[in-house]
Structure 1
Amino acid sequence: MANPIILTLDDDIQVSNAIERDLRRHYRQDYRVMKATEPAVALEAVARLKQRNDQIALFLVDQRMPGMEGVAFLAEAMKFYPDARKVLLTAYADTQAAIAAINVIGLDHYLMKPWSPPEQNLYPVLDDLLSDWLATAEVPFDGIRVAGTLWSASSHTIKDFLARSQIPYQWLDIEQDAEARALVDAVSNEQHHLPVLFFPDGSTLINPHITTVAAKIGLRTQATHPFYDLIIVGAGPAGLAAAVYAASEGLRTLLIDKETTGGQAGTSSRIENYLGFPNGVSGADLARRATAQATRLGAEILTAQEVTQIRVDDTYRFVKLADGTELSCKALIIATGASLRTPDVPGLESLSGAGVYYGAALTEAAYYKGKHMFVVGGANSAGQGAMFFSRYASKVTMLVRGSSLQKDMSQYLIDQINCTENIELRTHTSV
């Protein structure tokens, strides 16, 4: 993690250079010193630093500048870094403005020009402010940040894709976090252009397709060969198992999935009836292990690529992808698994990913802490989801059309549900 920043702003180049010189001499071991001479340029730099998730510990800003006074600059900069310490450089004539700024923007200190000698007039003040900042500063997340709203289906799609791909990320809810909102406004003024993804290198993606995200984070989205011994369509447990066995026998193997590895099983919070895991295993962990095994044995895996057409010509099979690429193979396995059954309820589709979720929706669990949740269904996926959310929600109500859970749910899940106090079962109930 890079050192936090002290940012200085003064339109007088000689003064700006002097500030930079004195600050570097005293703080260069622990802080990066950045300088600017124009308020507009400085604000652009602040926005870029926030996009990269860099920390600004302290602003040292001149009050009297053309175009924007120091107090006005600090008010704008605080939208991005509200916890940074704020120091105003003033001449004697500006002391009243500095005093007023203590109440207006919560100014931490003002310094009179000149500050020489810095050992007496500059460093003691800044040392105290920086020490105070360090005591409360949070270490920024050094990874992908996803900004959006709970009610944005596109935001849910991206979060779900990253989570299932085992990619750590930080969620920023712009409805709850003013800093996150300012961050999004700096790159996109249209609220419906969500989510916005911020990467550690400072780049951003606005409402991207998962294929774009996959390529950005280094997942393979393009095949390395035009021909394979075996192509497998669908990267759930069956497809992954086929890839492991084929690759272990030396076959040039390609595994393709329109989302990511794991399939429907990858969304399960807990699987307890899978061979070889006596204590159970999460769907995500099962997918991670199988993906690593297939890759180690030489299988090639394409994520976020959809197969749109299959044809047979003589003894060869041809697979066409959504991006127009056509691949050929000797043998083809279709392991696309089952599709989730969606209730025929008016208006439900418009809420998909925005309050209504299919599968366990593990990425949304933390938001529903202390809330009442409903799970529709009476088979294993519903049971696993109910058990998982019972750790977060104050109450989980299962809505089941049948008379009991016995018909479609494994007995071990039924036993767990019966022993969980905050799960309520309502049978003979339809949405």
Structure 2
Amino acid sequence: MAKPVILSVDDDPEVLQAVSRDLRRQYGDRFRVIRADSGAAALDTVQQLKLRNEPISLFVVDQRMPHMSGVEFLEQAITIFPDAKRALLTAYADTDAAIRAINSARIDYYLLKPWDPPEERLYPVLDDLLDDWQATSSPPFEGIRVVGNRWSPLSHQVKDFLARNQVPYQWLDMELAPEAPALVAYAETDGQRSLPLVLFPDGTRLVQPSNLDIAAKIGLQTQAERPFYDLVIVGGGPSGLAAAVYGASEGLTTVMIEREAPGGQAGSSSRIENYLGFPVGLSGADLARRAVTQARRFGVEILTPQEVRGVRLQDSYRIVSLSDGSELSCHALLVATGVSYRKLDVPGMEALTGAGVYYGAAMTEAIACKGEDVYIVGGANSAGQAAMHFSKYARRVVMLLRGTSLTASMSQYLIDQIASVENIQVCPECSVVEARGNGHLESIVIANAATGTKEAVAAKSLFIFIGATPRTDWLDGLVERDKQGFILTGPDLLRDHPDRDRPHGWTLERSPFLLETNVPGIFAAGDVRFGSVKRVASGVGEGAIAVQFIHRYLSKV
């Protein structure tokens, strides 16, 4: 933790040097002593310290300074650091002004110059002031701070990116956090139009940053270290992470490319309770963190946020094109991109996405929903896990299901948990048909298929956990997929051609391996694969099994 600051201010260079010397000699091991030669310079320093979230414990300020007196400085400085102690340095002729300043600037003590010897006339007073400050102060947050508006889609994007990459941050809402407007002013940005503002511990800041901007600042790897790999894995969910661990641990040079954050959709789950080996469950973020640590220990390169835009073949190599224009070549390619939540295509939904309407994001937005009614669309495990998580914060959680019950798509353990929570309400045969709001979500229209009625209800937060949409357009013209975009592998490549024993265009003497696509050396695992079981454990299993088939393929290359 950074040392708390003692700020000394005096326009006389000799006095300033003397007081700073005495302060460092007595307190330099516990406090950082900073000096300023004018009130204006000191105010600038105070603002910069506030932006870095470094606390000021004590002001030691000369009263008689040109342009801005010590009292005038303190009157402004205490609005920024109201808990800092204040000592005023005065000459004998200024004692009346110092006494009046006890009320106006709420100074804690005034000291007459000169203060020699400091052991008798300076340190005892300051020791008491610093002891009092330490007794009542709490350590400041030392990580990244995000100043924004709850209803800003870009603010939500920044929070979600940091949360999913497991980067600690402090959220400061412009409408709720008292210090937020001041931080925006100190950063000299364009007010509300410059939000979100991301403040870093080193004092630097980013205004309306992209995920790539933040990634570069926090040190995430976005570019590969080499042009060729034995194995390139596209997608960092459970399947991709498992393949990375097994591939690298068995000697394959491996790179994993993830467009958002390691963990995939599973990484945003608030609680996974049916994963083998964790009897009390674990969060998706914890599972992702463990897997990433394990993969990196074996030497896996993880590129994030980075996106694959296409793939082409050249002799025995598979060459992937990245969004930054670079290319990587490999012997074997594993597609493990998982699925995304399906968009809810009803009036008003698109315009309010990120401003009250969210896809997933239970871990990111839950605290902001404290004491409110939360509506969830979906009835699978991800929706159930979200409902349980929101129930800890929200006044009421309403689950809207198209079906007649949860049993068709949700694990029984979750159904039992939901039934036992009083503030979760399940509404079967209900769907959202419209979202309304000016700048942010204000209400939704719910249609009840059982009664044939529609009802508009007030709502600030709607979370959508429906369907599964694979993002596989980048494989067009090369890898065979079904009508929904799921990748066909192994025997499924012949499901529409029972008269064949090999896929169209297949040139090898052997048949495709179980998880191999119609292109030799390109494999698929996890939710993106046609016919896969949509569970974390099965995704991990497929990722591990895929590596065995990749070894068999590489042995013949």
> Which band: TM-score by shorter chain?
over 0.9
Write the mapping of 1:12-411 to structure 2, written as runs, cut at 5 A: 12-190=12-190, 191-411=192-412
Shift of 1:132: 1.3
Counterpart secondary structure, 2:366 = helix
Structure 1: gaps spanning 5 or more residues = none
The answer to whether the Cα contact below 8 Å between 1:75 and 1:105 also exists between their aligned partners in 2 is yes
Deviates further, 10-19 or 351-360: 351-360
Task: Give the distance between the partners of 2:360 and 2:71, measured in 1 at CA.
Answer: 51
Corresponding residue for residue 508 of structure 2: none
Q: Distance in 1 between matches of 2:72 and 2:152?
A: 34
Deviations 1:307-365 (A, max 9, x none): 12222233322211111111112222222111111222333334333333221421222
CA distance in structure 1 between the partners assigned to 2:105 and 2:341 by the alignment:
53
2:271 match: secondary structure: coil
Structure 1 residue 95: Cα displacement: 4.3
Match of 2:420 in 1: 419
Deviation at 1:423, TM superposition (A): 0.7
Distance in 1 (alpha carbons) for counterparts of 2:341 and 2:229:
31
CA RMSD after TM alignment? 2.2
**d(CA) in 2 for partners of 1:151, 1:177:** 15
Structure 1 residue 13: deviation in Å?
1.4
The structure-2 alpha-carbon separation of the partners of 1:355 and 1:69, relative to structure 1 and needing over 3 Å to count, comes to farther
Q: For 2:272 and 2:119, locate their aligned partners in 1 and report how far apart those are by CA, in whole Å.
A: 64
Following superposition, the deviation at residue 94 of structure 1 comes to 4.1
Secondary structure, counterpart of 1:78 in structure 2: helix
2:202 is paired with a residue whose SS is: coil
Residues in 2 aligned to 1:17 and 1:341: alpha-carbon distance in whole angstroms = 65
Code of the aligned partner of 1:266: G
Separation in 2, partners of 1:205, 1:383 = 36
Aligned residues of 1:79 and 1:179 also touching (Cα < 8 A):
no
Residues 110-154 of structure 1, C-alpha deviations (whole Å, 9 max, x = no match)? 333344443444333322221211111111223222232322322
Task: List per-residue Cα deviations over 1:18-38 (Å, max 9, x = no partner).
Answer: 322332333333322221112
| Cα distance in 1, alignment partners of residues 25 and 294 from structure 2 | 52
Question: Is residue 197–residue 205 contact of structure 1 (8 Å, CA) maintained in 2?
Answer: yes
Shift of 1:163: 2.2
Q: Which amino acid aligns with 2:287?
A: L
CA distance in 2, matches of 1:223, 1:258: 14
Paired with 2:389 and 2:288, the residues of 1 have a C-alpha distance of 18
Shift in Å at residue 209 of structure 1?
1.6
Specify whether residues 420 and 360 from structure 1 end up closer, same or farther in structure 2 by C-alpha distance, changes over 3 A only.
Answer: farther
- Quote the offset at 1:96 in angstroms: 4.8
Structure 1 residues 37 and 330: CA distance shift in structure 2, 3 A: same
Could you tell me which residue of structure 2 aligns to residue 10 of structure 1?
10
Equivalenced residues, count: 431
Shift of 1:216: 2.2
1:98–1:217 Cα change, 3 Å: same
Report the Cα distance in structure 1 between the residues aligned to 2:203 and 2:119, rounded to whole angstroms. 36
Task: Find the aligned partners of 1:74 and 1:346 in 2 and give their Cα distance.
Answer: 54
Inter-CA distance 67–345: structure 2 relative to 1 (3 Å threshold): farther
What's the TM-score, normalizing by structure 1? 0.92
- Which amino acid is the alignment partner of residue 126 of structure 2? L
- Conservation of the 8 A alpha-carbon contact between 2:362 and 2:390: no
| Structure 1 residue 383, shift from structure 2 partner | 0.7
Matched residues in 1 for 2:77 and 2:348: separation? 42
Distance in 2 between the 1:289 and 1:224 partners? 23
Confirm or deny: 8 A CA contact 2:61 2:70 kept in the other structure.
yes
Distance 2:76 2:351 in 1: 37
* 8 Å Cα contact 2:231/2:254 also seen in 1: yes
Letter in 2 for 1:214: A
Show CA shifts across 1:368-427 (max 9, x none).
333322222222211110011112222212122322222222222111111111111122
Amino acid in structure 1 at the alignment position of 2:315: D
Q: Structure 1, residues 276-300: CA drift from partner, whole Å, max 9, x if none?
A: 4343321112212222222222322
* Bigger Rg, structure 1 or 2: 2
Residues 71 and 355 from structure 1, CA distance in 2 versus in 1: closer, same or farther, beyond 3 angstroms? farther
Q: CA separation of 1:105/1:372 partners in 2, compared to 1, >3 Å: closer, same or farther?
A: farther
* Aligned AA (1:51): L
Partner AA of 1:200 in structure 2: P
Measured in 2, the distance between the counterparts of 1:289 and 1:262 equals 10
Range moving further from structure 2, 13-22 or 119-128:
119-128
> 1:97 offset after TM fit, Å?
4.2
If the length of structure 2 is used for normalisation, what is the TM-score? Answer: 0.72
Contact 2:270 2:362 in 1 (8 A): no
**Secondary structure of 1:111's match?**
strand
In structure 2, give the amino acid aligned to 1:269: S
Shift of 1:268: 0.5
Give the residue type in structure 2 aligned to 1:86. Answer: R
Q: Secondary structure of 1:327's partner?
A: strand
Contact 2:362 2:389 in 1 (8 A): no
In 2: Cα distance, 1:329 partner to 1:201 partner = 39
- The answer as to whether partners of 2:48 and 2:203 remain within 8 angstroms in 1 is yes
For residues 385 and 22 of structure 2, the distance between their equivalents in structure 1, rounded to whole angstroms, comes to 61
* Cα contact 1:360–1:381 (8 A) shared by 2: no
Is the contact between residue 269 and residue 360 of structure 1 (CA under 8 Å) also seen in structure 2?
A: no
Runs of 5+ unmatched residues, structure 2: 433-557
Q: 1:162: how far off?
A: 2.1
SS in structure 2 at match of 1:357: strand
Q: Alignment partner of 1:86: what SS?
A: strand
C-alpha separation in 2, matches of 1:189 and 1:60: 30
